[in-house]
Structure 1
């Protein structure tokens, strides 16, 4: 009976020392995203200068503490605890580094897509400007009577206009004397045609 009681107390002591965290210490599952967000907020704060920006930085930290239901004292106590347990802290920071690298890749992808969209909009605007310029040139040529349809384009009326400008005379039929003697009927027909003209 004494041995069983002794074994029971040993298991209770070992179980209580193993996985339990002190009162104000955050677990690993909370510390990883909290430290990721804190490092991002630190980078944001380092880029902000001046007294008017201190309020923005302080509100960023307050919103982070509210998101994870803690405060600066809880974060400090958690970091003190994990620095005493370096293996656990190393695992946390490996996860933090992975998250930050993933966020950087997502940001680079977003910026690349944004640049492509801006370039597409610029090309579209340039094409619209070029279209307006060409249309204005066409309108001015059209108003002056110069048609800008291209070199190979011909209107259907071009052939008729050329005929009216230069009337084409039909060649006179050549009558051979020999054929007139032999064929009097042909001779009469040809004379009639000439008289009609």
Structure 2
């Protein structure tokens, strides 16, 4: 083993924590939950706790809700998530609201959300909300779900949102950092390496 090869091997071990190439290759890639069973278990626990505490309207089972959470943190659209789960976009939207997974774009509303929040807290009917906001009941119903999800989350001190975010953003960051470290280390080691291959 020449000096460059030894240096490359040392960097590989430092960055991967292993001297076995096949071990790294066998690890699944692409899905955040495949970083280990602990994430899967914790997501199931969080979903179970939320199901006990709140009334879920989406009708999805826990496995499908797990998929919704995972793909939400992979920045997939409701349309893409719907295709993956095999349901329509409205069901995915309901599932996200069940799980307090509100996007910033969800809050881009044609109505005053602060006023809608006040009306919801006062337990007004959907007809009264629509009249007060000067819009139709379909719009009010849609944005009421968003406001209710935010209200539920706030009352829970954003506990469930924070736990999901911690699980999935940490997993994503770990995967990205490990990948970057391997690429940087291997690139540095091979920059000046001359390959002499004879066929």
Q: Which has the higher helix share?
A: 1
What TM-score does the superposition give when structure 1 sets the normalisation length?
A: 0.32
- When Rg is computed on C-alpha atoms for both structures, the one with the higher figure is 1
